[in-house]
């Protein structure tokens, strides 16, 4: 117990100040609301349960009484028919004496039809019929009269004979409509055996009284006061006689055994007047059952417990919504209140993170001279100091690189000038040809573009002309072994670029690529240029000897220690580009032995 408590205490202690305050406010607001909601829900649910069960009880009893009245009306009508002397006389006539007496049979039929019609009305007895001996001429009428001989071969007749009850009941079936032009009518039928009054063992006919099923259904529908509950009548075989809502019945799917205890209670004098809890399907229900006298029917009502508590659940949900609204309002107020305290701390924290990510152009405005204000002033002073130090370091690094460049130029230019002048000297002595003029012009152009009046930024076009003059001079030296192929898009010519970027790369391609690969054959240097997503991409490719990929990577990583070889000048160019344009720009090498070398230069697109 102590360990979890210690863990929670540690978590709360390490939380931010605003979270601590918000959690405290939530506890103080939601705890009383939760207790009030729980107390209210219990009281309301208990009262509402009593109210809905009382209403359901009254509706159930009223429907039971009315239904019993309807059924007793049919039973009393069957008594009148059963004990009627004319019925006894007509059904006990001798077949030999009256089998061919169609006049008397017709008189009997008319008299019985009139007698049966007197019982028929739309509300109680929809139709009264008799099953008569098959030899009678009107036995096959199939409206008020039916052939008892044919009926005796059915299971319904066998069940009627086996029953010891006064009457038997047939489940739902359809009979012809009293108005022959309309569809058949679903009915529930009462069957009763008519015995010979002089010889009671002899069955001389059967009474069938029909009540419309929709009348019974309507009675049950009025008894069902809930939306998801169901009231239904079930016979002793488990068949449904009538139901208030078949969709609800199938959804609830009650067990037919629910009524068994009610039938047993009826035999002991207890009619099943109370509500019982039962698990039906996957839900809890309250169930009430009651057996209907003179039938094998049981009237059952089942109400989901969830529907009984639905109103109280609505109140509970309303309370929960109220809790949520209060919580949100309190959270908003707490957020505003705590915001006044911690807003400046969060701002200072945000600015510190920006400095941590390398953004130094930040400042915290604070007009309140409290502890947080003093922290903000100290932070501003510290950031300014760091910014000055970074700028100072940047300027120092830039000056160092410029000095390195000038030192490189001081080393390269005299050496190149010496070789060129020596070549001019030998041309003049040995050949006495006008090539001397070409060499002199190319050399003049080369130095003019190299110096550029002391400016570090030149146009791409000037840089291209610079390498052309350089290659022309080298071709005079190496007997035109070098071919320069320039494929730079014309729209790049006016763009700005650092000077002396391409010439060292072209020089490396000649000395360390083409001349090392071929002693007598020609070599090609291809210079391309394109715009790519707002950036200038220049490539210098040669078809010389190439080098392993590890060696190409080491050129920019400082793997070559000798400052006289190509790595020094390449790293110098890369550092200059990064200092001028940013760390995301610079050189990239791709090479493999025998396939030549390609250098990619990537700088931002800038125009003069």
Q: Which of 198-212, 267-281, 345-359 has the highest mean pLDDT?
A: 198-212
**Number of compact structural domains in the chain:** 2
Residue 554 in domain: yes
Do both 302 and 405 map to the same domain?
no
170 and 300 in a common domain? yes
DSSP 514: I
Can you give the CATH number for the domain in which 161 is found? Answer: 3.30.450.20
pLDDT of 426 over the 60 cut = no
Average pLDDT over the chain reads 80
Is residue 252 scored above 50 in pLDDT?
yes
Provide the pLDDT for residue 209. 92
Decide if 234 contacts 298 (C-beta within 8 A): yes
Is 519 a domain residue? yes
Instruction: Pick 29 or 90 by higher pLDDT.
Output: 90
Tell me the C-alpha distance between 321 and 309, whole Å. Answer: 18
Clarify whether residues 157 and 274 are in a common domain.
yes
**Mean pLDDT value across residues 49-77:** 88
Question: What's the pLDDT tens digit per position in 397-414?
Answer: 666 666 566 645 644 555
Q: Are residues 271 and 399 in the same domain?
A: no
The total number of residues written for the chain in this structure: 608
Same domain, residue pair 272 and 418: no
pLDDT in tens, 114-167: 998 888 886 788 899 999 998 999 998 888 999 998 998 888 888 888 888 889
pLDDT given for residue 191 in this prediction: 93
Please state, in angstroms and rounded to a whole number, the distance separating the CA atoms of residues 585 and 538: 12
CATH code (residue 468) = 3.30.565.10
**What domain range includes position 599?**
390-604
pLDDT of residue 146: 92
Are 266 and 400 in the same domain?
A: no
H or E element that contains 87? helix 85-91
Same domain, 177 and 302: yes
Choosing from 290, 308, 326, the residue where a domain stops is 308
Give dist(CA 33, CA 39) in Å, integer. 10
289 and 421 in a single domain? The answer is: no
Point out the domain boundary residue: 292, 308, 324: 308
Looking at residue 563, its pLDDT comes to 44
Whether 596 is in a domain gets the answer: yes
Q: Is 29 inside a domain boundary?
A: no
Same structural domain for residues 394 and 286?
A: no
Q: Tens digit of pLDDT for each residue in 556-589?
A: 876 443 444 456 678 888 888 888 888 889 999 9
The larger pLDDT score, comparing residue 125 to residue 314, is at 125
What are the tens digits of pLDDT across the range 377-386? 888 888 888 8
Q: What is the pLDDT of residue 538?
A: 94
pLDDT above 70 (res 415)? no
Task: Please tell me the predicted confidence (pLDDT) of residue 347.
Answer: 77
The answer as to whether 397 is a domain residue is: yes
Specify the 3-state DSSP secondary structure of 292.
Answer: coil
The pLDDT of residue 107 is 92
Burial class of residue 363, CB neighbours in 10 A (0-12, 13-18, 19+)? exposed
Distance of CA 416 to the CA centre of its chain: 72
User: What DSSP assignment string belongs to 144-203?
Assistant: SEEEHHHHTTSHHHHHHHH--SS-EEEEEEEE--SSTTS--EEEEEEEEEEE-SSSTT-E
- State the Cα–Cα distance between residues 202 and 193, nearest whole angstrom: 10
| Crossing angle for the helix pair 460-477 and 371-430, to the nearest 10 degrees | 30
CA distance 103 to 328: 93
Q: How far is the first Cα of the chain from the last one, in angstroms, to the nearest whole number? A: 75
pLDDT for the residue 560: 41
- What pLDDT is stored for residue 539 in this prediction? 95
Cα–Cα dist 541/527, whole Å: 6
Closest CA to 225 of 291, 159, 311: 311
CB 211 within 8 A of CB 74: yes
Last residue of a domain, one of 260, 277, 308: 308
Q: What is the pLDDT of residue 366?
A: 73
pLDDT at residue 421 tops 60: no
Q: Which residue has the higher pLDDT, 373 or 295?
A: 295
Within 13 A of 589's CA, how many CA atoms are on the CB side?
Answer: 26
Same domain, 443 and 540: yes
Q: Between 308 and 488, where is the model more confident?
A: 488
- What pLDDT does 268 receive? 46
Banded model confidence at residue 453, pLDDT cuts 50, 70, 90: low
Report the pLDDT value the prediction gives residue 518, as an integer from 0 to 100: 57
> What's the pLDDT score for residue 207?
93
Model pLDDT for residues 596-608, shown as the tens digit of each residue:
899 999 999 876 5
Q: Which of 257, 328, 258, 311 is nearest to 288 (CA)?
A: 258
Strand pairing of 203-212 and 127-132? antiparallel
Name the one residue in this structure whose structure tokens are 């159930």. 60
Residue 210 has what pLDDT?
Answer: 92
Q: Is there a contact between 122 and 206 (Cβ–Cβ < 8 Å)? A: no
Instruction: Over range 159-182, report the average pLDDT.
Output: 84
Of 552 and 460, more confident: 460
Would 39 be classed as within a structural domain? Answer: no
- Specify which residues 497 forms β-bridges with: 458
pLDDT for res 158 = 87
Q: Is residue 337 part of a domain?
A: no
CA dist 544 and 526 (Å) reads 12
Q: What is the rounded average pLDDT of the residues 221-233?
A: 87
Same structural domain for residues 453 and 586? yes
Phi-psi category of residue 368: left, alpha or beta, with phi > 0 → left and psi -120 to 50 → alpha: beta
380 and 348 in contact (C-beta within 8 Å)? no
CA dihedral of 230, 236, 239, 244, whole degrees rounded to 10: -20
pLDDT reported for residue 192: 92
What pairs with residue 209 in β-bridges?
A: 128, 190
Domain membership of residue 232 (yes or no) is yes
């Amino acid at each position: 117990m102590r360990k979890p408590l210690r863990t929670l205490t540690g978590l709360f202690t390490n939380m931010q100040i605003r979270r601590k305050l918000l959690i405290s406010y939530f506890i103080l607001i939601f705890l009383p609301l939760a207790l009030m909601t729980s107390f209210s829900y219990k009281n309301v649910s208990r009262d509402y349960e009593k109210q809905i069960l009382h209403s359901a009880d009254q509706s159930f009893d009223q429907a039971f009484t009315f239904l019993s009245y309807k059924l007793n009306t049919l039973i009393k009508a069957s008594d009148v028919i059963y004990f009627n002397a004319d019925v006894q006389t007509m059904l006990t006539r001798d077949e030999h004496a009256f089998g061919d007496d169609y006049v008397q049979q017709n008189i009997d039929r008319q008299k019985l039809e009139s007698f049966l019609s007197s019982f028929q009305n739309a509300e109680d007895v929809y139709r009264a019929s008799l099953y008569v001996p098959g030899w009678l001429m009107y036995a096959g009428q199939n409206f008020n009269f039916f052939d008892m001989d044919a009926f005796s071969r059915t299971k319904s007749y066998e069940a009627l004979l086996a029953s010891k009850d006064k009457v038997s009941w047939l489940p739902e079936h359809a009979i012809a409509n009293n108005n022959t032009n309309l569809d058949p009518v679903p009915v529930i039928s009462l069957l009763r055996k008519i015995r010979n009054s002089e010889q009671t063992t002899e069955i001389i006919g059967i009474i069938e009284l029909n009540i419309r099923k929709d009348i019974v259904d309507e009675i049950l529908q009025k008894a069902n006061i809930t939306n998801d509950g169901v009231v239904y009548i079930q016979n002793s075989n488990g068949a449904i006689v009538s139901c208030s809502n078949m969709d609800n019945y199938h959804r609830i799917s009650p067990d037919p055994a629910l009524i068994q205890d009610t039938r047993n209670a009826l035999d002991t004098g207890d009619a099943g007047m109370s509500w019982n809890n039962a698990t039906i399907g996957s839900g809890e229900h309250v169930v009430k059952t009651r057996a209907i006298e003179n039938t094998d029917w049981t009237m059952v009502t089942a109400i989901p417990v969830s529907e009984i508590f639905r109103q109280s659940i609505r109140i509970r949900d309303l309370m929960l919504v109220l809790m949520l609204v209060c919580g949100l309002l309190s959270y908003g107020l707490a957020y505003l209140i705590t915001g006044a305290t911690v807003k400046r701390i969060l701002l200072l924290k945000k600015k510190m993170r920006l400095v941590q990510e390398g953004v130094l152009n930040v400042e915290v405005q604070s007009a309140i001279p409290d502890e947080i204000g003093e922290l903000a002033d100290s932070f501003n002073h510290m950031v300014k100091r760091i910014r000055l130090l970074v700028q100072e370091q940047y300027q120092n690094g830039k000056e160092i690189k410029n000095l390195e460049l000038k030192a490189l130029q001081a080393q390269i230019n005299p050496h190149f000038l010496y070789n060129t002048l020596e070549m001019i000297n030998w041309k003049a002595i040995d050949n006495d040809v006008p090539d001397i003029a070409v060499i002199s012009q190319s050399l003049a152009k080369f130095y003019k573009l190299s110096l550029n009046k002391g400016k570090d930024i030149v146009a791409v076009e000037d840089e291209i002309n610079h390498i052309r003059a350089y290659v022309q001079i080298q071709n005079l030296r190496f007997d035109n072994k070098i071919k320069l192929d320039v494929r730079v898009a014309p729209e790049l010519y006016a763009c700005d670029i650092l000077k002396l970027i391409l010439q060292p790369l072209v020089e490396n391609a000649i000395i360390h690529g083409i001349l090392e690969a071929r002693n007598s054959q020609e070599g090609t240097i291809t210079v391309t240029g394109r715009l790519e997503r707002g950036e200038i991409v220049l490539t210098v490719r040669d078809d010389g000897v190439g080098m392993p990929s590890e060696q190409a990577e080491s050129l920019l990583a400082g793997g070559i220690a000798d400052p006289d070889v190509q790595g020094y000048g390449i790293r110098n160019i890369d550092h200059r580009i990064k200092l001028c344009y940013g760390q995301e720009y610079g050189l990239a090498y791709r090479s493999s032995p025998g396939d030549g070398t390609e250098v990619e230069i990537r700088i931002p697109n800038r125009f003069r």
